[in-house]
Amino acid sequence: MENESRALGAERYRSARPLPWRNETSSAEQEGDLPPGRQLVRLAIEPTAAAFKEFKERALKGASVSADAADILCLIGDEEAAALTARVVMHSAAEGMLLTATAIRVADAMIDHIQLAAVRKRNTKAAKQFLQRQSHQAQTKRRRKNHKMFYERFDADRTFTMQQRLRAGVKAIGLFCDATDLFVIDTTGLGRRRIRPTEAVHRWLEQQHARCELLNPIHLPMIVAPRRWVSPYKGGYITKSPGNRLVKQANRKYHEQLRDVDMPGVYAAVNAIQATPWRINARLFDVVRAIWDSGGVLGGLPERNPLPVPARPTNGDDDAIARWKREAMNVHDANHKRVALRISMSQRLWIAEKFKDEEEIFFPHALDFRGRIYPIPAGGPNPQGDDLSKSMLEFARGEPIGDGGAHWLAVHLANQFGHDKLPFNERVDWVFANEALILDSARDPLDGQRFWASAENPFLALAACFEWQGYVEQGASYVTHLPVHLDGSNSGLQHFSALLRDPVGGAAVNLVPQDKPADIYAEVAKVAQAKVDASTDANTRLWSDGRVIRKIAKRPTMTYTYSATRFGMLDQVYQTLREIDRDGDPHIDGDNYDASYAMSYILWDSIRETVIAASAAMDWLRQAAKVMTKAGKPIWWTTPMGLPVLQDYPNSRRDLIRVYHQTKEVRLVVHMDAGGIDGRRQANAIAPNVIHSLDAAHLMSVANRCAEQGIDLAVVHDSFGCLPSRAFEMRGILRETFVEQYRPDRLAILRDELLAQLPDELLDALPPLPPMGALDIEAVAHSDYLFG
């Protein structure tokens, strides 16, 4: 960083903000918008190039160095190698990429440079045209094949083995890290190696106010409405960009078929959602900026200082050492997360400030392969972000709140404080009972009693406090821009219960009309507590005396229908215990890991006993996926909105390659294409992917119906937001569209699609569908708490 300080001092006069690495294809006026991380590349080149030069000199003198690494590194100039290594490492570190993948990326970047330099010597014009074509092509197998043919035409093709590429990449990364002290190679708790920036790099980036994300280009919101999607390749941003697609699916065959699919409802839904105009919530932003600039953490903003690593026990037994290792690993992981959160925080503030004065901003959207809709700009404030990201946005178009809208604003406000399981009228009563504290939060959020900071979603709560103040002071005519959200009750279980008309599961997740909302998480916790109280196992008994609280059961129950494993539940319980312990006394009188291990078994059984029909449907889907794999076929199905979904997880093999770095042997695992279909992944993924495709279809139906009614919509998969004055209408739309989707037997439709893909000899191998229950799907239209 001393090298950086000297360089910055020499350039400080040029601009108040650091001059980024110039993009030779852009004008000088555009330089200020380029990533400041690119300046780090330039600053790192000189010391890294010197390290490359020394390595090559030792290699040429016959010193004991990696021959495989030298094979590639000796073919490229020192400065070029340094620049490529620095740039790739910073890209990969920002993405959290593992060392193995980063090393391959570094080597491949060098090989591309070596090959293109050879072409340039023979035909400068051809090389220039090649670069121009390359900038408009997405990374595909066809592109790589075309590159190889191009290089072969000019006798410039250089082929290296995987081992040569790995060794060269690891050596280059090691030289870069040692020469600059900008990055280090770290080992995670799972034994995986990653490259991470040092604290000095993070301090430097924070001083630049994160003008944009480190090295990765940022997709920003738009200030005009996005292009309407009219085909799988046309829509979203106005200008063309490589890889611009409606559906994020790597399979080329899928996109070829999608061109001919008639799916007007899909296009209409995406276009309606991305046409919603937003604006930055300036009042909320000013509070966040004040907290961050003062170094505070109010509302859950990221800590600036790392957690202290616990000291190793000097005379501890094996169990004590094992506990210390787990705690130390947790601290290291937490510190790495803090670093990432700080960078993300600075970036979000920069983007919010950039667009704060715009009357309208828009978020172009696209779909994942199951049809779930996502905003393409995800790095800053966005409608599907976390508490902070969502709170900094509000609808650009407001409406008078009205007394009816005030009711739904109160419900929304109570929800942000964690009271979403109360009946609606009790949530409104809670707001009036706490109105003095709510108004204090709105009028003096930083120096008042800070009631808002105690909420489950502090910044969404504060934004709602501001609106409640407006209603109290101006009455029903107060114009609000705030989205109020209504959320599903464990969306996965709702869809499974509707699929099989399950009255028990349906009642547990509010498909059945009830006077107050059902709470599936509390029900599972109750079943689990009964099992604990009847157990004689010592680790299970750690949960006695009512310690299986709702919070312990929530994550495992929420993720069960998305193929969560028992081992995954162990980690979820363990992390929840750590969160609880940070708030006060230890929740468990014993070792958290041992207690979590025991509870994972208890919760697994408790969930399966509580949602029997969902378990049966998941089992059927897994068996069906195994039959499809036996036929050697991927799985296609069509969502209720007409979107084709392709699930195709290819087989791969793990190759272990040993390289040496900093006098230590590093074992790198490389995943190679092994041909065929990965039956295990197909079976594990089918249930969550089908359910995600169904909740995505419901969202699209809601979006289209709201667009017809002129309702601006905010969506997060199973959470729907609108202006308070339109919430009553939206509730009706949510229920009507859900019933319409599940009037047909959706599981039978899926079965028929699978049968059509199977060869005749395997038709009988597909198991019969699980039995349908007696749930009246039409009654769902009268369930007050289906979404709430």
Catalytic residue numbers, as ranges = 487, 554, 718
- E strand or H helix at 530: helix 520-533
Which residue shows structure tokens 């109105």?
435
CA-CA distances (angstroms) from residue 42 to 12, 169, 298?
15, 20, 37
State the Cα–Cα distance between residues 530 and 532, nearest whole angstrom. 5
SS (H, E, C) 703-720: HHHHHHCCCCCEECCCEE
Cβ-contact 299, 465 below 8 angstroms: no
CA-CA distances (angstroms) from residue 779 to 21, 613, 719, 772?
62, 19, 21, 16
Cβ-contact 614, 496 below 8 angstroms: yes
State the Cα–Cα distance between residues 786 and 740, nearest whole angstrom. 14
380: its two tokens? 């800053």
State the Cα–Cα distance between residues 352 and 194, nearest whole angstrom. 30
Reduce the DSSP state of residue 262 to 3 states and report it. Answer: coil
Cβ-contact 603, 573 below 8 angstroms: yes
Please enumerate in sequence order all residues whose Cβ is within 8 A of that of 652, keeping only pairs 6 or more positions apart, or say none.
671, 672, 673, 674, 678
For residue 667, the cross-strand partners are 658
Looking from the CA of 480 toward its CB, the CA atoms found within 13 Å total 32
Residue 373 sits at φ, ψ, to 5 deg, of: -100, 135
CA-CA distances (angstroms) from residue 750 to 14, 744, 746?
63, 11, 6
Instruction: List the one residue out of 395, 473, 432, 493 whose CA is nearest residue 721.
Output: 395
State the Cα–Cα distance between residues 201 and 712, nearest whole angstrom. 42
State the Cα–Cα distance between residues 255 and 618, nearest whole angstrom. 28
Quick one: the chain helix, strand, coil %, rounded to 5? 55, 10, 30
State the Cα–Cα distance between residues 485 and 724, nearest whole angstrom. 9
Q: Beta strand pairing status for 484-487 and 719-722?
A: antiparallel
Looking from the CA of 212 toward its CB, the CA atoms found within 13 Å total 20
Cα-Cα-Cα-Cα torsion 522, 525, 529, 535, nearest 10 degrees, comes to 160
Give Rg (Cα) of the chain. Answer: 28
